[in-house]
Chains A and B, each alone.
Chain A
Amino acid sequence: MFYRECGVRHTTYAADRALAVIPFERALLVLLIVLAAAAPWIVTDLFLVSYLTPWLIWTAAVLGLNLLMGWAGQIHLGYGAVMAVGAYTAVHVARAGAPFVVAVAAGGLVAAVIGSLFGLPALRVRGLYLAMSTLALQVIVDWILVQVPAISGGAQATLLVPRPHIFGIPLVTDQARYWTAAVFTLLVALFVANVRRTDVGRALIALREKDYAAAVIGINVFYYKALAFFVSSFIGGMSGAALAFLYYRAVTPEQFGLNVSIMAVAMVIVGGLGSIIGSFFGAGFILLAPIWIEHGLRELAAALSVHISPSTLAHLPLVIYGGLITGFLLLEPLGLAKLYDNVRNYLRVWPFGYTKK
């Protein structure tokens, strides 16, 4: 009904390849962007700071990882380390006096260089072995971060992040930080959405399907694999820096440990491999659902006056989080994006469902 396609006729190639073809979807996008811009006046400050801001920044990170896993088809279990490199670089550059934007870009660049190291094994192996070598690199990078005092400020240390300025305007309020995060995520989303439409995007997809076959049709497999790792790590590094500047406001190595890498992959898979809207869904779901489900369970237990021991309660989020990962993989391997797609496809032809091809 709403997603009506009738009357949409493409007379140019440009119109055919637009990001949003259906008029209703374009309106929806504009509405969402307006809502996101107005969010500080709509939601409470607590919600804005502790839910919306990390959700948006994590979405940017997941988009970067999705570019690598969803489009180029390379497994990466060390994304947390890449984000850590970005965060630490940006913080050190900013402490040396560089402006915020420069610091974030520097974080992205250094993360991209280190992240390409993660891609080194990808030029030789793939699948299982790539997963294990990225896992190993995560451990190695973590260790270096903790052990080199020049980076982490010594073991168990926390580095305070200098207050960010954008073009001379200090980002002091929660609202300003939120808007910065929102703009950053929007830019990353636009970039990834457009990569999909270019020859690079199509080369990556060919690579994902079968790298030998891609080589046969003239795609330089080495180049595109390295490129995918570089670009994805660049986005990851910038997201790590954004997370440090706009959300944590202090960096410690634990913020980017192995568990964080697993969380990032979980976000990609729960959201849907190779889907942009799925990245938004996945990041939000994995960040927020365990909190809300645990909260609900607590209230349920209180309402039924069932006593749960504090130790059990403390481990509940972990169980819920792991359960969500396994549950999604077993029941809907294509993720939340597939669920959204089902609804969309249904609405596109509603009330004339029989016209579906």
Chain B
Amino acid sequence: MTFLAELAINGALVGLMYALVASGIVLVYKSSGVVNLAQGGFVMAGAYLVWAYIARLGLGLIPGILAAAASMGALGWLTERLALRRMIGQPVIMILMLTFGLEVVLRGAVPGALGADTKPMPIPISQAPVWLGDILINRTYILGGAVAVVMVALLAVFFRTRAGIAMRAVSDDHLAAWAVGIPVERTVALSWAVSGAVAAVTGVLWGAVQGVDWSLSLLLIKALSVAVLGGLDSLSGVVLAGLIVGVFESVISGYVDPFVGGGTREVVAAVVIFLTVLIRPYGLFGREVIERV
């Protein structure tokens, strides 16, 4: 029972951190209908930048993270401005492949420029676990889960500001938003920038968990499964779906791994995507698109 509780609690915290990665995907999807398959690469680039600013340039922890968030925001904005905006009206596969191409470029360019070996994320978190009764909890996960909840809450607040309301309007209908004077392009670009900044913060957390190297970009599958299960355009769905995916993944791999020789963790997310698409494509809270011919 303790084992199950331990798996579930750690899993839930990890799931919240997945939700943070997924929130970047949801933000962009909400405003522009593009699923950013480079989000894993963005997280990796963010983690590398934080590491570079702190360890190489000697910035403090908070200034380093802020500088990385600003740089990643700029990268997200540039991506929209230079690449995605030219693809408006192209078939879905073209846009998906474009973001995949970006992912490949990031995966090559960032480790190529900053070094491919795994680096420790220079943030002061003790490695000693927290004991909750008999249950052992990873300290980094607690911080990660807390930051994830705060970030998602901040995003929810952001959607109540002027820019956020404009973004919601854009996600409803581009043409109608245009008609009432909302700068649609600028709003979409803003959502990319925010998503880039979120990726930088996510990169700090995941970099602290598993070290900074290219494998951070593999978070994409987990993030996709969370985003799809929650509904691609639902920010609150992301939190619940993150909890579900995290708990399932942790509990299933905890009990099944000894029998099949490991690696179950990777496949749970994929199964979640597949089942969600088959049973309820629009996810838990996503908007069901009714197609009229």
Contacts and interface: CB of A to CB of B under 8 A. Distances in A.
Interface of A: 69, 75, 77, 120-121, 124-125, 127-133, 135-140, 143, 146-147, 155, 210, 212-213, 262, 265-266, 269, 311-312, 314-326, 329-330, 333
B107 interface: yes
A262 B104 contact: yes
B103 A322 contact: yes
Interface residues of B, number: 45
A290 to B, nearest CB: 10
A316 B116 CA distance: 12
Given A133-B277, A311-B116, A317-B108, 14 more contacts: A127-B92, A136-B270, A140-B267, A143-B266, A155-B261, A212-B293, A269-B93, A315-B108, A318-B108, A321-B104, A322-B106, A325-B104, A329-B94, A330-B86
Nearest to B98: A329
Given A121-B278, A147-B261, A311 B115 contact: yes
B83 interface: yes
A199 to B, nearest CB: 24
Given A143-B267, A265-B97, A213 B293 contact: yes
The 9 closest A-B pairs by CB, nearest first: A318-B108, A315-B112, A322-B104, A325-B101, A322-B105, A139-B270, A136-B273, A319-B108, A326-B101
Interface of A is mostly: helix
Given A128-B92, A133-B274, A325 B266 contact: no
Given A124-B278, A326-B102, A330-B83, A75 B96 contact: yes
A128 B96 contact: yes
Q: Is the interface of B mostly helix, strand, loop or mixed?
A: helix
Contact of A329 (B87, B107, B108, B270): B87
A329 to B, nearest CB: 5
A315 B214 CA distance: 11
B97 A266 contact: yes
Contact of A121 (B104, B263, B277): B277
A128 B35 contact: yes
A124 B281 contact: yes
B113 interface: yes
Contacts of B281: 124-125, 129
B226 interface: no
Contacts of B108: 315-322
A326 B261 contact: no
B97 A137 contact: no
Contacts of B272: 136
Contacts of B35: 128, 132
